[in-house]
């Protein structure tokens, strides 16, 4: 019997396997950032251990960095401590680091692909659950905890039990205005936040093939919101073209590509589970609740919890509506928004900025609304400025910031106030995620831009 893509990559990385034990998996690349690494380096130091492969490790600063005045000393003393700790650790252990102000600083999952060090057939880890983003290149990429970060630093391997495989086939053609973000929000609404638990998801089908590499990254990015260990997409010519010319593209490109071309699911392979979605029917999607599975097409209304059969889900919906300050039956398009956040590793790449700018061009954002545009990396920021996108945003009344995670997780000063409501292109709408008491609606960049103009959840078609 044939093998799935995930099985092929997995098997190519087994250092050791023994009955009754997890496989010992070789890790091709570890990405590091300031929030989940300090304790790992500390552990190494205490045990007198070294980093086995500094040349397969790269660090950047993103989660807790300011997005304004980046060259001034960091005002928050604890943030400063974390950043300083990372810089010292990188120096001590000989790890490459891209610090604030550096051309390659940015959200860790934007940085890997833009450097060309994210490639097909790799195993990639990072102390961040959205590592699944890199799966868009046909890699097994997953988030790990700090103890595992330490484990990979010390051994370049990770004991891991083999996940099951799931195929999600998205067949058909997306309507204008429907994006990769809408695909993944619709998938999560369908399978639930635990639907992918224990699986590596392979996204397949004509609608996935049609997506750009950046769109594929958006889809894979939110695999974790469906509970999956990882998500991936078989590499194709688009993938190869994207990597070509990047700083760390293979020198012997032909040799690499001939391996990459073997990375697909065999016709006779079997997935543990298969799900199919019709792309023709998809609409712009938004979330109404406090987990990413609580989403609906933008034309729908806030659901009535009383109509939900499952008692757990009903309770969760009731609590969500209360937290979100929403009435059942309210059309989603009537929901007024205070803040629009465009950015994050889900939707902070150049195509996302272009999409939003195309809607905002020559228009103004609604009075009293604030819009934050935070590029995913410094390179994305530079590119956007070259194209004049910064002017479009600024002229529309938005704030143009430096790169980082920013309001995606509300760790730095970019936060929502209590009761403030956002439309956000990020990936998590948990209670308090963007600031204590803040209310988040997850949206695509197109919906974010249209919402900024109208002041209520909207799509470009409503303008």
Interaction site with ligand SF4 (CB under 6 A): 62-63, 107-109, 128, 130, 344-345, 405, 408-409, 426-427
For Cα atoms 341, 377, 450, give the angle at the middle one, nearest 5 degrees.
30
Residue 55: which of ligand SF4, other proteins, none does it interact with, CB under 5 to 8 A by kind? Answer: other proteins
CA–CA gap between residue 433 and residue 438 (Å, rounded) = 7
- Give pairs for 386-394: CB < 8 Å, separation 24+: 387/354, 389/353, 389/354, 389/357, 392/357, 392/360, 392/361, 393/356, 393/357, 393/360
Say if residues 211 and 318 touch (Cβ distance below 8 Å): no
From the list ligand SF4, other proteins, none, which binds 345 (C-beta under 5 to 8 Å, kind-based)? ligand SF4
Interface positions, 96-135, toward other proteins (CB under 8 A)? 96, 116-117, 119, 122, 127-129
Dist CA 78 CA 463 (whole Å) = 44
Instruction: Say how many residues touch other proteins, by CB under 8 A.
Output: 82
Task: Report if residue 197 touches other proteins, rule: CB under 8 A.
Answer: yes
Which CB sits closer to other proteins, 315 or 388? Answer: 315
Closest CA to 222 of 459, 435, 429: 429
Interaction residues for other proteins, span 386-425 (CB under 8 A): 409-411
- Contacted by 155, from other proteins, ligand SF4, none: CB < 5 to 8 Å by type: other proteins
As separate numbers, helices (DSSP H) first and strands (DSSP E) second, the chain gives: 16, 19
Cβ at position 50, least distance to ligand SF4 in Å: 27
DSSP 412: S
Cα-based distances in Å from 191 to 104, 148, 223, 299, 363: 36, 28, 11, 21, 38
**Which region among 48-56, 262-270, 369-377, 452-460 touches other proteins (by CB under 8 A)?**
48-56
Nearest alpha-carbon partner for 282 in 219, 228, 224: 219
> How near is the Cβ of 344 to ligand SF4 at its closest, in Å?
4
Give the residue with the Cβ less far from ligand SF4, 179 or 426: 426
Decide whether 217 or 269 has the Cβ nearer to ligand SF4.
Answer: 217
Least distance from C-beta 93 to ligand SF4, angstroms?
22
Considering the complex, what minimum distance in angstroms separates the CB of residue 24 from other proteins? 6
Binding to other proteins (CB under 8 A) within 68-97 occurs at 78-79, 81-82, 85, 96
- Least gap, CB of 43 to other proteins (angstroms): 8
Among 79, 115, 82, 78, residue whose Cα is nearest residue 96:
115
Interatomic CA distance for residues 142 and 139, integer angstroms? 9
300 binds other proteins (CB under 8 A): no
Choosing from 3, 24, 301, 462, the residue that interacts with other proteins (CB under 8 A) is 24
């Amino acid at each position: 019997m044939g093998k799935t893509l995930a099985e092929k990559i997995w098997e190519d990385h087994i250092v050791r396997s023994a009955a009754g034990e997890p496989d010992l998996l070789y890790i091709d690349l570890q990405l590091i950032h300031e929030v989940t690494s300090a304790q790992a380096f500390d552990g190494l130091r205490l045990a007198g251990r070294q980093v086995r492969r500094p040349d397969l490790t790269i660090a950047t600063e993103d989660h807790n960095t300011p997005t304004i005045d980046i060259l001034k000393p960091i005002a928050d003393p604890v943030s400063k401590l974390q950043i300083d700790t990372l810089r010292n650790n990188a120096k001590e252990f000989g790890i490459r680091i891209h610090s604030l102000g550096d051309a390659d600083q940015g959200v860790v999952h934007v940085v890997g692909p833009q450097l060309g060090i994210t490639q097909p057939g790799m195993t990639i880890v990072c102390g961040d659950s959205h590592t699944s983003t890199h799966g868009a290149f046909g890699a097994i990429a997953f988030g790990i905890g700090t103890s595992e970060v330490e484990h990979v630093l010390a051994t370049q391997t990770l004991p891991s039990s083999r996940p099951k495989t799931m195929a999600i086939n998205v067949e058909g053609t997306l309507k204008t205005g429907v994006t990769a973000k809408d695909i993944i929000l619709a998938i999560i609404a369908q399978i639930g936040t635990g639907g992918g638990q224990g699986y590596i998801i392979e996204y397949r089908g004509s609608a996935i093939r049609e997506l750009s590499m950046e769109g594929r990254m958006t889809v894979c990015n939110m695999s974790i919101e469906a509970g999956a260990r990882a998500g991936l997409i078989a590499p194709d010519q688009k993938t190869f073209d994207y990597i070509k010319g990047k700083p760390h593209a293979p020198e012997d490109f032909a040799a690499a590509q001939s391996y990459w071309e073997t990375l697909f699911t065999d016709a006779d392979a079997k997935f543990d589970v298969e799900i199919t979605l019709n792309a023709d029917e998809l609409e712009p999607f938004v979330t109404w609740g406090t987990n990413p599975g609580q989403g609906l097409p933008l034309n729908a209304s806030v659901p009535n919890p009383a109509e939900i059969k499952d008692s757990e889900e009903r309770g969760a919906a009731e609590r969500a509506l209360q937290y979100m300050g929403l009435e059942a039956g309210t059309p989603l398009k009537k929901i007024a928004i205070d803040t629009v956040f465009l950015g994050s590793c889900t939707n902070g790449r150049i195509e996302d900025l272009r999409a939003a700018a195309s809607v905002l061009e020559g228009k103004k954002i609604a009075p009293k609304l604030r819009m934050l545009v935070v590029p995913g990396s410094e390179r994305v920021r530079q590119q956007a400025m070259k194209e004049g996108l910064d002017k479009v945003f600024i002229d529309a009344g938005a704030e143009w910031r430096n790169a980082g995670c920013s309001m995606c997780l509300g760790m730095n000063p970019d936060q929502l106030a209590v009761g403030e409501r956002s439309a956000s292109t990020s990936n998590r709408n948990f209670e308090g995620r963007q600031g204590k008491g803040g209310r988040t609606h997850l949206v695509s960049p197109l919906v974010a831009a249209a919402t900024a103009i109208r002041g209520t959840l909207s799509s470009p078609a409503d303008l």
